Chain A
Amino acid sequence: LNAAPGRAPRQQIRFLPAPAPGGGGAVELVAARVPVLADHPLVRGPRFRKLKIGAGHRLDVKASGVFVLGIGHGNKLLTDLYNCHLAKVYTVGGRFGKATDDFSDTGNLIEKTTFDHITREKLERILAVIQGTNQKALLMYSNIDMKTQEAYELAVKGLIRPMGKSPPIITAVRCLQFALPEFQLEIHCLHETQQYLRKMVHEIGLELKSSAVCTQVRRIRDGVFSVDDALPRTQWNLQSIQEAIRNCQLKVEAELEKTLG
């Protein structure tokens, strides 16, 4: 970063003595633009000695996916994005037949059950109910008085969501793949933790009169940032980072405008 051409030094206007035209001896003051010595690179030293990097929504050790970081001024944008309360999208993989103590497949085994009675239909029914109860929670925790006309208008547009602290809420669930004993869900949620999603997989197993563990949690979208904008491990270099920041700037601004006004 420090090798990149820095800012041009500030200019100032000083009155410098210069020899007057004509005879020698007399000195005249001529205005000239001179660089300020305080800005000279040899005086100031390298421009960046440390960088302030802030992290967006947390990601577990066992989970993977999009992880948003803010650099320097971006940290303030991070706070604003947090206050927007946008939904995050996860791909959660599960496996029927086992129940463990930490709800993932690497935990201590608690119980093994049969799962041949489970069909995709039953799973989708359970998912519909989960979505339904969470929709209710969405409306309840948004702290809007249900008796007003604005509440009705927002509810019609589907824009009601909690703009403050709330327990984890799932706004949408969908089954992407179903091949006994494995299955994969796409979950859109707010204010959640990855452990909560694993617990959800476990509870789905219980509802279906069997048991399930979570094999994979992958965040594919965090507010405006999706997997396409994210940089994989091979691209963690200055060029790509700068390009990525430039590409996302517009999107972030637009979203903040829309939500916070």
Chain B
Amino acid sequence: MAGVARRLLRRGLGVAAGPPSTRQLREAEEAAPVFQYAGKVARRKDRVFVWGFSYSGALGVPSFVRPDAGWKKPRRIQATPYRLETEEKISSAACGYGFTLLASNTRDITKVWGMGLNKDSQLGFQRSRRDQTKGYEYVLEPSPIPLPLEKPQQTRVLQVSCGRAHSLVLTDHEGVFTMGNNSYGQCGRKVVEDEVYSGSHLIHQLKEFDSRVVQVVCGQDHSLFRTKKGTVYACGWGADGQTGLGHYNITSVPTKLHGDIAGVNIIQVSSYGDCCLAVSDEGDVFGWGNSEYLQLASVTETTQVNIPRHLPFKIGKVKEAACGGTGNVVLTEEGNVFVWGYGILGKGPNLIETAVPEMIPPSLFGWSDFSPDIRVAHVRCGLSQFAALTNRGELFVWGKNLRGCLGTGRMEDQYFPWRVTVPGEVVDVACGVDHMVSLVRSFT
């Protein structure tokens, strides 16, 4: 009996317990299942991140303004980048004064989405669900903007731009669509007295330019159009000379600019406040508009310049320029960033104003002996803040931190370029007055 029991134990349950030998461990390891999280053809995903002041609805997250659960509190300021879920891949974004436009270059019917303030119909007509005749004044989540396209399934939207209360949409074959406030003719149509802009269905189409429009830029109350031939057209308010047409009146039809840029092939125009900058293909910078903050003081003592003037800066060939409310920034071919104007310019608290461009040391953008090939690739301007994108996809911001628009997580102003941690490689960024939108690609 005992012998049978012992034999059973040895056969069935008599496995030697104790620490597993190396061979057993190795076999267990080889037998373990292999998990696959990403295949060889895994694509990098495109994402949109927003941050800044949320009560205007410009961030596109309704739960910040109207929380969906009772215990949640409304979030007035989103201080760090927050991911915005969108249905389509967004190729272009623009921030206005309290509203945002997102555009995708698809061939689908819905190409442009808008969110934020809509008191002047800058986001088109958003039909209210409660009252079918009225429109929404605040749009809290990205809502499609219906554009009166002739061929909606062929035309693509290339770029969008937003000003204080108007917006411009650039398409590839059907010209430019404008909507919003037109009290100064910034939408490119005749000013109608006592026009009510709120809840307006009117979207104007502009087609008469000497060649195809390739870039649209909105200033505060004026619009600039750059065509393929390198000419610049402007319309809108001109009291600071920002239309550059030689007078200080309102222009309601896009008119060609002359002055120092006549005959020059302009490759980029920029404006956000009342000052405008243009960059030619040879790397020269031209400016016009407001100069109260020494933006154009290198050529003139007057505070308004109403005709484009060449700015004789000896900083090298300029690749890109960006205009803010009181300060300007340019990027040269070598990758150096120069700032001038008034306000927090990015060289510490001591530099408040300068008429001559000052370079920001590249070591502040991550350049060092260890990584010498870091260069700034793009520069952007909001009303009182600046943003720079490096070739590694890092975003640096500096300037006045109005309602958390810098995205650093702190509410203090930033006197020198500071990295914003975005979980992805930043491809483009749009700066507004108190919020920012960035287009990001994920890492893997």
Contact = CB atoms under 8 A, between A and B. Distances in A.
B32 A146 contact: no
Q: Is the interface of B mostly helix, strand, loop or mixed?
A: loop
B389 to A, nearest CB: 13
A129 interface: yes
Nearest to A128: B392
Given A136-B419, A174-B370, A209 B35 contact: no
Interface in B305-329: none
Nearest to A109: B29
A133 interface: yes
Nearest to B36: A114
Contacts of B42: 117, 209
Given A109-B28, A136-B421, A153 B348 contact: yes
A15 to B, nearest CB: 68
A63 interface: no
Interface string A108-139: 01011110110000100110110111011001
Interface string A140-174: 00000011110111011110000000000000101
Contacts of A155: 363-364, 416
Interface string A97-111: 100000000000101
B240 interface: no
A238 B121 CA distance: 85
Contact of B37 (A126, A132, A158, A210): A210
B349 to A, nearest CB: 6
Nearest to A110: B32
Interface string B338-375: 00000000011110000000000101101010110000
B350 A149 contact: yes
Contact of A149 (B348, B364, B444): B348
B55 interface: no
A207 interface: yes
A149 to B, nearest CB: 5
B413 interface: yes
A158 B362 CA distance: 11
- Give the size range of B's interface with the partner: 35 or more
Contacts of A128: 392-394
Contact of A132 (B39, B370, B415, B421): B421
A112 B29 CA distance: 9
Interface in B207-227: none
B414 interface: yes
Contacts of A157: 363
B38 A117 contact: yes
Interface in B118-163: none
Contacts of B72: none
Contacts of A185: none
B347 A152 contact: yes
B260 interface: no
B413 A147 contact: yes
Nearest to A108: B25
A147 B412 contact: yes
Contacts of A252: none
B444 A122 contact: yes
Nearest to A97: B34
Contacts of A149: 348-350
A117 B40 contact: yes
Interface of A: 97, 109, 111-114, 116-117, 122, 125-126, 128-129, 131-133, 135-136, 139, 146-149, 151-153, 155-158, 172, 174, 188, 207-210
11 contacts: A111-B35, A132-B419, A147-B349, A153-B348, A155-B363, A155-B364, A157-B363, A158-B368, A172-B370, A172-B371, A208-B443
